[in-house]
Amino acid sequence: MDPANAGDGTRPGRDGTVRLGDRVFGGLAKGSGITLLLIMAAIAVFLTIRAVVAISRDEGNFLTTFEWDANSHPPVFGIAVLLFGTVVSSLIAIVLAMPVAVGIALFISHYAPRRLAAPIGYLVDLLAAVPSIVYGLWGALYLVPRLTGFYEWLDHLFGWTGILSYNGTPARSLMSVGILLAIMILPIITSVTREIFRQTPRAHQEAALALGATRWEVITTTVLPFGRSGIISATMLGLGRALGETMAVATVLSPSFLINASLLESGGGTFAQNIASQFKEATSMGRDALIASGLVLFVLTLLVNGAARLIIARRREYAGNAG
Amino acid sequence: MKLRLGSAALTGALVGALSLTGCGSDDNSGIPGALDFSLDDLHCGPDGTLLASGSSAQANAMEVWVNTYQTNCAGSQVNYKATGSGAGVQEFLQGNTAFAGSDTALDADEIEESRSVCRDGGRALNLPIVAGPVAIGYHLPGVDDLVLDPDTLARIFDSRITRWNDPAIHRLNPDARLPDAPITPFHRSDGSGTTENFTSYLRAAAPDSWPHEPDKAWAGRGGQAADGSSGLVGQVQQNEGAIAYFELSFAHRNEISTVRLDTGAERPVAATVENAAGAVDRARVVGRHGDLALEFDYTARAVDVYPIVLVTYEIACDRGNEPDSVGLIKAFLGYAASEEGQRALARIDYAPISDPIIDQVRRRIDAMA
């Protein structure tokens, strides 16, 4: 039987009859798939309708205005600061988290003795179970005060760049948010890449060893190339979480509608954080404006996922040959 | 019996959970669990359930009132969700709740909009029912007593005075040992009635130093932001040289020193419930056609007036409330506005509404239909 059609409930069995179970299960599976599409479509339609209303009344430029004054008459708001803050904090998180996550995954799959590998895997997965508000509180009360010294050191070395200058105010900045987000997305990147590395074909690794490769060479010639698409999709999963993180950012960041050239000083904001902060006291106009910013985040996330798919599709040949 | 017990427990859990999630903004509950809520002369309305939502600044007052009312009127339930004023008003205007709590009075447009939910040609009324002082808390080791005037306060929060040993602060505190350290002013990152009241004060009392329009969103320059009053408290405790504004109860519970305000009176006034009540006494009713929206005199100069006060309203229809719940609305709000209801406020750092105004509130509630 062609496995691609196995889910099709109408396909006759060996004796030519269609079984009830097949039909029911096929219908359920199809129904689930359609439901998902409907939900996505409903969200997109809702966001778009409300967003169009808000943007049409916006007296500022929705894309370039550095202000969020959506509750006043006339409303003036723009997403420039939010887009910048969301992208920058998420990129910082990815840059910090990915190498560490790949390292942990390699350690678990190829270096750690079996007795150590399992507990470390559990520990990393446990990080994913911590609620984000707990990360936020830990970040605001513990991490941020301890980053001040590190930032002063960065300022001392790289302050001349402007990007890494620091004036000694509480370090509730995009950089701190990025560091916190990196810790939060570490487990998801680690666990996905770990599973991929484990699936590296034995034959490849043994062939490399037979050619006299060291363990490091085995990893660079077989494990990493085989796992590349997995690393990318894991990173994109992590990026998705970082882009949408709300409570942790709202707790740690000191937001403002100005872009601070320095990543170490407070200011900026993210889409999700801004929605959480403004929603409670928003008028109906303010609410629609927040929904419009939510639509941008929705599109941004779709783009990121789309990009990941493209990259994975291009890499598929290698993985396909390996399988 | 079993059913009632269950629902009471559920309400308790709801109120508890909501005041916890109450955006952390104005969760000033310091209400002991074993408090005796029973009262002899509470006038109970008909049995039923009342849904309401809104301001988190009045959440703790509501909690006390709801507990007292439900303890004495066993067949009734009042669910007040501290969703924030904006969301509460929204829900009321959509007809989902019996009344809303709000830190700002409904404006003319919103009152007009309320005609669609109030039947029989009724419209929404602003009923001032709770007030409270907004304290300025600071963290400066070695300085237990700090006096600021509106002008200095505005310039500190607008990042124009940036160091504690600034001559302007020194002039007001000649005896204090002010350190040569940076001031970090903190404001709310979320929209908040507290911010609006505080900036209304700055705008009225120091117009030259505070050029920004009062708003729920912070408009000042620079400084740092944190989420909710509890977020501000956390930052003030954590950072030497920090200064921020929050409801008095937050300062009390966290033992944060508060600024005494030099309003031009003979001596600076402290942020206390009594002094806030003094400001409420001098408030003026500006609502028209029987509405009771209040306006404060932010420039009052008296030794018993602390002018930075937050007043929060209940909003309900004057006529055309839901026929099933109107009796319960009147009984519950009537209790909240009663002498007992108002007296309960001082214990939790709120200020009662002054007699001439609360009398009018009672009359409006009596006349509701």
- Summarised one tens digit per residue, pLDDT across range B265-300 is 999 999 999 999 999 989 989 888 889 999 888 988
Average predicted confidence (pLDDT) for chain B: 86
* Nearest CA distance, B84 vs chain A (angstrom): 5
B78-105 pLDDT, tens digit each: 999 988 888 899 889 988 999 999 988 9
Give binding residues of B as ranges. 55-57, 85, 103, 192-194
**Chain A residue with the nearest C-alpha to that of B190:** A277
- For residue B222, what pLDDT is reported? 86
- With bands split at pLDDT 50, 70 and 90, how would you rate the model's confidence at B12? very low
Rounded Cα distance between B305 and A321, Å, is 81
Q: In terms of pLDDT, which residue wins out, A64 or B14?
A: A64
Separation between Cα atoms, residue B54 and residue B62, nearest integer Å: 11
Say if residue B182 is exposed, middle or buried (CB neighbours under 10 Å; 0-12, 13-18, 19+).
middle
Residue B264's region, left for phi above 0, alpha for psi from -120 to 50, else beta, is left
- Quick check: A237 pLDDT over 60? yes
- Report, as an integer, the average pLDDT of A48-63: 91
The CA distance from B224 to the nearest CA of chain A, in Å, is 6
Asked if pLDDT for residue A280 goes beyond 90, the answer is no
Once rounded to an integer, what is the mean pLDDT over residues A250-274?
92
- Cβ-based contacts of A253 with chain B (< 8 Å): 189
CA distances from B164 to A9, B155, B167 (A): 76, 12, 9
Q: What number of residues does chain A have? A: 323
Kindly list the distances between the CA atom of residue A52 and the CA atoms of A61, A289, B120, B139, in Å, as whole numbers in the listed order.
13, 9, 35, 46
Chain A contact set for B191 (CB, 8 A) = 71, 277-278, 280-282, 286
**Residue A19: pLDDT band with limits 50, 70, 90:** confident
Q: Supply the Cα-derived Rg of chain B in whole angstroms.
A: 21
Check pLDDT > 60 for residue B8: no
Q: Which residue would you say has higher pLDDT here, A128 or B156?
A: B156
Compute the count of residue pairs across chains A and B with CB atoms less than 8 Å apart. Answer: 78
At A315, the pLDDT band (50, 70, 90 cuts) reads low
- Check CB contact of B308 with chain A, cutoff 8 Å: no
Residue A235 sits at φ, ψ, to 5 deg, of -60, -40
A131 touches chain B (CB under 8 A): no
pTM: 0.82
Give the rounded distance of the alpha carbon of B65 from its chain centre.
Answer: 15
Q: Which of A145, A278, A281 sits opposite B85 (nearest CB)?
A: A281
Asked if the bond preceding A74 is cis, omega within 30° of 0, the reply is: yes
B236-271, pLDDT tens digit by residue? 999 999 999 999 988 988 999 999 999 999 999 999
* Residue from B54, B25, B12, B7 nearest B232 by CA: B25
Interchain contact, A141 vs B23, CB within 8 Å: no
Written as six digits, the tokens of B106 are 């409904």
- Higher pLDDT: A67 or A73? It is A67
Beta bridge partners of B316: B125
Residue B347 predicted with pLDDT over 90: no
Contact A284 B90 (CB under 8 A): yes
Is some CB atom of chain B closer than 8 A to the CB atom of A246?
no
| Amino acid B14: pLDDT | 40
- Within 90-119 of B, beta carbons closer than 8 Å to A belong to 90
Neighbours of B95 (CB within 10 A): 12
Give the per-residue pLDDT at B18. Answer: 37
Asked if the model's pLDDT at residue A279 lies above 90, the reply is: no
In this prediction, residue B9 carries a pLDDT of 42
pLDDT of residue B151: 95
Going from the C-alpha of A144 to that of each of A136, A155, B110, B287, the distances in angstroms are 10, 16, 42, 47
Mean pLDDT of all residues in B340-362: 89
The pLDDT score that the predictor gives to residue B75 is 86
Q: In this predicted structure, what is the pLDDT of residue A73?
A: 79
What's the pLDDT score for residue A69?
86
Which residue of chain B has the CA closest to A265? B224
pLDDT over 80 at B167, yes or no? yes
- Choose among B192, B216, B227: nearest Cβ to A250: B227
Q: In B, which residues are within 8 Å of A66 by CB distance? A: none
Q: Which CATH class is domain A76-319?
A: mainly alpha
Domains of chain B: 8-132+312-366 (3.40.190.10), 134-279 (3.40.190.10)
Percent of chain A beyond pLDDT 70?
Answer: 92
Q: What is the pLDDT of residue B79?
A: 93
Q: How confident is the model at residue B338 (pLDDT cuts 50, 70, 90)?
A: very high
pLDDT of residue A317: 54
Asked if A287 reaches chain B (Cβ–Cβ under 8 Å), the answer is yes
Which run of H or E residues covers position B187? Answer: strand B184-188
- Residue B192 and residue B86 in contact, taking contact as beta carbons nearer than 8 Å: no
